[in-house]
Chain A
Amino acid sequence: SQTIHQWPATLVQPVGSPLSLECTVEGTSNPNLYWYRQAAGRGLQLLFYSVGIGQISSEVPQNLSASRPQDRQFILSSKKLLLSDSGFYLCAWRAGQGYEKLFFGSGTQLSVL
């Protein structure tokens, strides 16, 4: 069966520090991968998605970036965090085109102070 791992679960970082969140999927190949952010009391906002290694599409302008160095690995990064980057970050995957259901990782609660 497929599983998705995301870490860390919680993170407290000072403004201006770098960020790296990692997500890996097991039990499937060539998944579509996604990073979402959920601000407190808000809906999910799609940040990045990837349909293959090295292929990243950004949905919103921001100081975050994403990379996919391996088929089942998706990384969210920032060189310098802003206060507004605080939120609940969720990695998700789906099997590919035609499979609309998304499955989420357990999320990372990021607090930028």
Chain B
Amino acid sequence: RKEVEQDPGPFNVPEGATVAFNCTYSNSASQSFFWYRQDCRKEPKLLMSVYSSGNEDGRFTAQLNRASQYISLLIRDSKLSDSATYLCVVHPGAGGTSYGKLTFGQGTILTVHP
């Protein structure tokens, strides 16, 4: 089983649609979770952290389910500019030899069309 798994998509949705991505992780001791966004041939950029209580940033909502070991990202009212690859990222935990060894999922491709 991969450490971090995502549905690669692609997800093709019309403008204004609501779309959700899920991501599962295998290490139950994982401490921190993030969603990054990556545009074609560009570097990944931090979209949002994911907190245990769930968190929202404008049209984006992130959820964490520790019992089932998955995180999700919900995008409401999709815009053309949301088209990108969304990367699920997991940090194993603080201390020891973790040294920021974030584990990246392969990414989910989203295309928003007019």
A interface residues with partner B (beta carbon < 8 Å): 32, 34, 42-44, 46, 49, 51, 57, 59, 88, 90, 94, 97-107, 109
Between A and B, how many residue pairs show CB distances below 8 Å?
A: 54
Task: Report chain B residues within 8 Å CB of A98.
Answer: 94
Task: Report chain A residues within 8 Å CB of B99.
Answer: 32, 49, 51, 57, 97
Q: Are A42 and B106 in contact (CB under 8 A)?
A: yes
Q: Are B42 and A106 in contact (CB under 8 A)?
A: yes
Task: Report chain A residues within 8 Å CB of B31.
Answer: 100
B interface residues with partner A (beta carbon < 8 Å): 31-32, 34, 41-46, 49, 87, 91, 94-95, 99-102, 104-107
Q: Which of B34, B42, B100, B107 contacts A43 (CB 8 A)?
A: B107
Task: Report chain A residues within 8 Å CB of B49.
Answer: 101
Q: Are B100 and A100 in contact (CB under 8 A)?
A: yes
Which residue in chain B gives the minimum CB-CB distance to A33?
B100
Which residue in chain A gives the minimum CB-CB distance to B2?
A43
Which residue in chain B gives the minimum CB-CB distance to A93?
B100
Q: Are B43 and A107 in contact (CB under 8 A)?
A: yes
Q: Are B43 and A90 in contact (CB under 8 A)?
A: yes
Q: Which of B42, B43, B100, B106 contacts A32 (CB 8 A)?
A: B100
The answer for the CA separation of A22 and B34 in the assembled complex, in Å, is: 27
Q: Are A104 and B91 in contact (CB under 8 A)?
A: no
Which residue in chain A gives the minimum CB-CB distance to B102?
A102
The answer for the CA separation of A34 and B32 in the assembled complex, in Å, is: 18
Starting from the known contacts A32-B100, A44-B87, A88-B41, 5 additional A-B residue pairs (CB-CB under 8 Å) come to A43-B106, A49-B101, A101-B34, A102-B46, A102-B102
The answer for the CA separation of A31 and B43 in the assembled complex, in Å, is: 19
Q: Are B100 and A49 in contact (CB under 8 A)?
A: yes
Q: Are B46 and A43 in contact (CB under 8 A)?
A: no
Closest CB-CB distance, A24 to chain B, in whole Å? Answer: 15
Q: Are A44 and B104 in contact (CB under 8 A)?
A: yes
Which residue in chain A gives the minimum CB-CB distance to B93?
A100
Closest CB-CB distance, A87 to chain B, in whole Å? Answer: 12
